[in-house]
Amino acid sequence: MKMLKKITLISALFSTGLIAPSLISVIPNVNLATAYADSETKTKRVPALREKVYSQLARAQKLADDGQVAEGLAALDSVKERVSSMNSYEVAMMYNFYGFIYYNENKLDKAIESFKAVIAEESIPESLRLSTTFSLAQLAMANNDFESTLSFLDQWKEVNTQAPKSNFYILKAQAQYQLKKYNDAINNINTAIDLVEADGELPKENWLVLQRAIYYSLNQPKKVADVLEKMVTLYDKPQYWIQLGGMYGEIGAEKKQLATFETAKQRGFIKSKSDYMQLAQVYLMNALPFKAAEALDNGIKAGVVEDSAKNLTFIAEAFVQAREDKKSLPFFLAATEKVEHGNLDQRLAEIYLNLEKYDEAADHARLALNKGDLTFESNAYVALGMAQFNLQNFDASILAFEQAEKHKKSANLAKQWIKYVKREKVHAETLKQALL
- Judged against a pLDDT cut of 80, whether residue 12 lies above it is answered with no
Top pLDDT among 230 and 161 is at 230
Q: For the whole model, what pTM was predicted?
A: 0.78
pLDDT at 436: 62
- For the residues 25-31, what does the mean pLDDT come to? 46
Query: Would you place residue 8 in the very low, low, confident or very high pLDDT band (cuts 50, 70, 90)?
Result: very low
| Under 8 Å between Cβ of 55 and 134 | no
- Mapped to the 3 state alphabet, what secondary structure does 81-146 carry? CCHHHCCHHHHHHHHHHHHHHHHHCCCHHHHHHHHHHHHHCCCCCHHHHHHHHHHHHHHHHHCCCH
Tell me the per-residue pLDDT of 229-270, one tens digit each, with 9 for 90 and over.
999 999 999 999 999 999 999 999 999 999 999 999 999 999
pLDDT at 79: 84
pLDDT at 104: 85
Lowest-confidence region among 29-43, 316-330, 392-406? 29-43
pLDDT at 105: 86
pLDDT at 54: 83
Tell me the per-residue pLDDT of 273-320, one tens digit each, with 9 for 90 and over.
999 999 999 999 999 999 999 999 999 999 999 999 999 999 999 999
Q: With pLDDT > 90 as the criterion, what percentage of the chain qualifies?
A: 70
Angle between helices 51-65 and 88-104 (to 10 degrees): 0
| Under 8 Å between Cβ of 183 and 167 | no
- Mapped to the 3 state alphabet, what secondary structure does 192-253 carry? HHHHHHHCCCCCCHHHHHHHHHHHHHCCCHHHHHHHHHHHHHHHCCHHHHHHHHHHHHHCCC
Q: Any idea what the Cα angle at residue 323 is, between residues 320 and 325, rounded to 5°? A: 55
Amino acid at the residue 120: A
pLDDT at 25: 43
- The DSSP code sequence of 154-166 is HHHHHH--S---H
Instruction: Reduce the DSSP state of residue 67 to 3 states and report it.
Output: coil
Tell me the per-residue pLDDT of 338-347, one tens digit each, with 9 for 90 and over.
999 999 999 9
- Judged against a pLDDT cut of 80, whether residue 33 lies above it is answered with no
Tell me the per-residue pLDDT of 342-383, one tens digit each, with 9 for 90 and over.
999 999 999 999 999 999 999 999 999 999 999 999 999 999
Q: Rounded CA gap, 245 and 261, in Å?
A: 6
Query: Would you place residue 76 in the very low, low, confident or very high pLDDT band (cuts 50, 70, 90)?
Result: confident
pLDDT at 1: 43
pLDDT at 44: 55
pLDDT at 164: 93
Please classify residue 219 by burial: count the beta carbons closer than 10 Å to its beta carbon, then call 0-12 exposed, 13-18 middle and 19+ buried: exposed
Top pLDDT among 35 and 172 is at 172
Tell me the per-residue pLDDT of 104-152, one tens digit each, with 9 for 90 and over.
888 999 999 999 999 999 888 888 999 999 999 999 999 999 999 999 9
- For the residues 203-223, what does the mean pLDDT come to? 97
pLDDT at 317: 98
Task: Tell me the pLDDT of the chain averaged across its residues.
Answer: 88
